[in-house]
């Protein structure tokens, strides 16, 4: 005689196993997909810079990068004085837009530095969990849209150089940005510090900040459109950019 | 008033969520709600189909009677908290399907005496969030324009369920912690902290829709107050255990566990099932 309770349990087990299998397959597929577009996730400039400074040309990334096993070799990326390798982080959170650039405060009004190109090794290292504060986002550079001018009072202009905003605190963490001004226009920017201490904050930062960075360069102003789902982060980002622009404003 | 009394709580919640979703859909067309309406409609259809399908399968093998309204409520909550994927975004689509599937499965797998322990939508979201490092965005909370509707419908639900003390305890703890961690030196600082948490976050939706689910909320006033306060403590973005910060869905699951553990009769039934 059939035992309905046992049948029910067997059916539940079967369905649950199927669900686990589908979930594992999804995870496996996602892990493969995530590795593939890693360079695409790093925000790229919309157009090449119009006046390239010979000194500002970043070294080109190797065309055929050596394969790197991220999981097996978390510290295999090249370490330089500018790009020290961080220790592994305990929280296992995938971090997309990361380089190994330290988040130490930058000297204001420093000479214009070339935006470092992300090598494939560094890009792969984005997925290596890091210890402590997350490294800064990769710098974004580009050209403003035609007709986009920074809204400044009459007689004022933006001085060339790099300008770092003060630390702006939002509910989920601190945010600090650096803008690079060339020829009186914002040509590059980098988020030096961002909310990252919990997975939700990190997710929202990764969702919003690359978009906001590109928008600021395109529109040449701090008040760009807010990214949905990251309203607080967007508003604080606007404040930080406005702060940096204020520091760059000269009479 | 008579009509309001006649409508069952499940149906009232379903209408409430459908109204929020329709409002979001309508406001997304002119861009007031910053989600493409196509994505939103698509995500809702996918969540509904996945929830109904998986629920049907589990109900069939369990020989249990299922409540379609409850299934639709879970699907609508999922549509409102998971960022709607574009129709061509297979990864996003898979995520919505799996969150929905696990939400429904939890109602049958993690249940004692035919009663689920965890809030289904929170369970699906938490499991997928932890498993794939992809927490849900709670996008509905970022659209303050939907807040009047959320508050109005929530007030109706509260009138029906009488969970005012529970919600007050939750709100007091969450807003209190936000203010305490904010700028206390000025009224503007306090107002900013309150508005950021109260208006520009998932706080209202979470409190009025998720926290007040009667099946996973405890019975008894003091237990409800303790439940609201403990979920509020874990919900706060400032609360962490070591390096782990709770997401809203995990905070709710911890509260659900508290509800289960605080009910001696359910624990006895659970122990008997094992014996």
Widest Cα–Cα separation across chain B: 60
In the prediction, which pLDDT does A103 show?
38
Which tokens is B212 given? 């007040």
Cβ-based neighbours of A246, under 8 Å, separated by 6 or more: none
Residue B71 — pLDDT band, cuts 50, 70, 90?
very high
- Res A121 pLDDT > 50: no
Cβ within 8 Å, pair A231-B142: yes
Residue B251 has a pLDDT of 93
Which token pair is A171?
Answer: 């509910």
- From the list B82, B234, B134, B226, the residue with the least C-alpha distance to A26 is B134
Tell me what percent of the residues of chain A surpass a pLDDT of 70. Answer: 53
Residue A43 has pLDDT above 60, yes or no: no
**The residue count for chain A:** 251
CATH match for A125-135+156-250 among 3.90.1010.20, 3.40.50.2300, 3.40.50.2000, 3.30.450.70: 3.90.1010.20
What pLDDT was estimated at residue B4? 65
Instruction: Please list every residue in chain B whose beta carbon sits closer than 8 Å to the beta carbon of residue A14.
Output: 61
CB of A198 less than 8 A from some CB of B: yes
Return the DSSP state at A56. Answer: G
Determine the pLDDT at residue B129: 87
The complex's ipTM works out to 0.81
* R_g (Cα) of chain B, nearest Å: 18
Q: Which residue in chain B has the smallest CA separation from A199?
A: B135
Cβ-Cβ contacts under 8 Å for B263 (sequence gap 6 or more): B218, B219
Instruction: Give per-residue pLDDT as tens, A238-251.
Output: 999 998 988 888 76
Residues B104 and B54 sit within 8 Å (Cβ to Cβ)? yes
Neighboring chain A residues of B63 at a CB cutoff of 8 Å: 4, 8
For residue B22, name the pLDDT band (cuts at 50, 70, 90).
very high
pLDDT of res. B275: 65
For the stretch B124-139, pLDDT in tens is: 999 998 888 788 888 8
- Per-domain boundaries in chain A: 125-135+156-250
Under a CB-based contact definition with an 8 Å cutoff, are residues A137 and A191 in contact? yes
Q: What is the nearest CA distance from B233 to chain A, expressed in angstroms?
A: 15
Hey, which bits of B132-249 come out as E strands? Answer: 240-241, 244-245
Region of A220 (left: φ > 0; alpha: ψ -120 to 50; beta: rest) is: left
Nearest to A12 among B109, B131, B196 (CB): B109
**pLDDT tens, residue by residue, B182-239:** 777 888 888 888 888 888 888 999 999 999 888 888 888 899 999 999 999 999 888 8
**pTM, 2 dp:** 0.65
Question: Which H helix or E strand runs over B48?
Answer: helix B37-62
Chains A, B: CB contacts within 8 A come to 98
Residues of B in contact with A94 (CB under 8 A): 133
A83 membership: H or E segment, kind and range:
none
Give the ranges where chain A is alpha helix by DSSP (H): 4-35, 38-41, 120-125, 199-219, 231-248
Mean pLDDT throughout A75-92?
A: 35
Give the minimum alpha-carbon distance from A59 to chain B in angstroms, rounded to a whole number: 33
Band of residue A210 on the pLDDT scale cut at 50, 70, 90: confident
Nearest CA distance, A205 vs chain B (angstrom): 12
């Amino acid at each position: 005689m059939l035992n309905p309770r046992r049948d029910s349990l067997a059916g539940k087990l079967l369905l649950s196993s199927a669900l686990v299998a589908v979930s594992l397959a999804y995870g496996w597929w996602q892990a493969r997909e995530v590795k593939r577009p890693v360079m695409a996730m790093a925000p790229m400039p919309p157009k090449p810079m119009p006046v390239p400074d010979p000194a500002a040309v970043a070294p080109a990334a190797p065309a055929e990068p050596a394969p790197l096993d991220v999981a097996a070799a978390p510290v295999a990326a090249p370490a330089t004085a500018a790009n020290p390798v961080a220790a592994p982080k305990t929280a296992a959170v995938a971090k997309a837009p990361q380089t190994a650039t330290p988040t130490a405060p930058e000297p204001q009004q420093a000479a214009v530095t070339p935006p470092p190109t992300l090598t494939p090794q560094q890009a792969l290292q984005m997925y290596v969990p890091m210890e402590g504060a997350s490294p800064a986002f990769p710098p974004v550079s580009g050209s403003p849209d035609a007709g986009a001018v920074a809204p400044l009072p009459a007689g004022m202009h933006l001085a060339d150089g790099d300008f770092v905003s003060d630390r702006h605190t939002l509910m989920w963490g601190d945010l600090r940005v650096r803008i690079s001004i060339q020829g009186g226009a914002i040509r590059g920017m980098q988020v030096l510090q961002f909310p990252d201490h919990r997975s939700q904050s990190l997710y929202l930062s990764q969702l919003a900040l690359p978009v906001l960075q590109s928008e600021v360069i395109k529109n040449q102003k701090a008040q760009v459109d807010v990214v949905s789902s990251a309203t607080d982060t967007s508003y604080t980002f606007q404040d930080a950019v406005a702060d940096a622009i204020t520091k760059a404003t000269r009479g | 008033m008579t009509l309001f009394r006649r409508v069952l709580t499940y149906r009232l919640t379903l209408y409430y969520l459908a109204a929020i979703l329709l409002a979001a859909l309508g406001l997304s067309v002119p861009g007031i709600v910053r989600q493409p309406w196509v994505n939103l409609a698509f995500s809702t259809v996918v969540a509904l189909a996945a929830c109904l399908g998986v629920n049907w399968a589990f109900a069939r093998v369990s020989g249990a009677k299922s409540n379609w309204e409850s299934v639709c409520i879970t699907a609508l909550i999922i549509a409102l908290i998971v960022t709607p994927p574009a129709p061509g975004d297979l990864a996003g689509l898979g995520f919505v399907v799996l969150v929905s599937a696990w939400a429904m499965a939890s109602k049958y797998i993690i249940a004692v005496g035919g009663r689920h322990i965890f809030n289904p939508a929170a369970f699906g979201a938490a499991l997928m969030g932890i498993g794939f490092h992809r927490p849900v965005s709670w996008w509905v909370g970022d659209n303050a324009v939907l807040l009047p509707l959320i508050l109005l419908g929530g007030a109706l639900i509260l009138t029906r369920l009488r969970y005012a003390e529970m919600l007050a305890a939750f709100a007091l703890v969450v807003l209190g912690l936000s203010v305490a961690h904010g700028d206390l030196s000025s009224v503007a600082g306090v107002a900013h902290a309150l508005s950021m948490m109260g208006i520009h976050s998932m706080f209202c939706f979470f409190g009025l829709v998720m926290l007040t689910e009667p099946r996973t909320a405890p019975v008894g006033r003091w237990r409800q107050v303790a439940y609201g306060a403990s979920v509020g403590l874990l919900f706060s973005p400032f609360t962490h255990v070591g390096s782990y910060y709770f997401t809203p869905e995990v905070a709710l699951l911890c509260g659900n566990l508290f509800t289960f553990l605080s009910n001696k009769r359910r624990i006895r039934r659970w122990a008997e099932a094992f014996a």
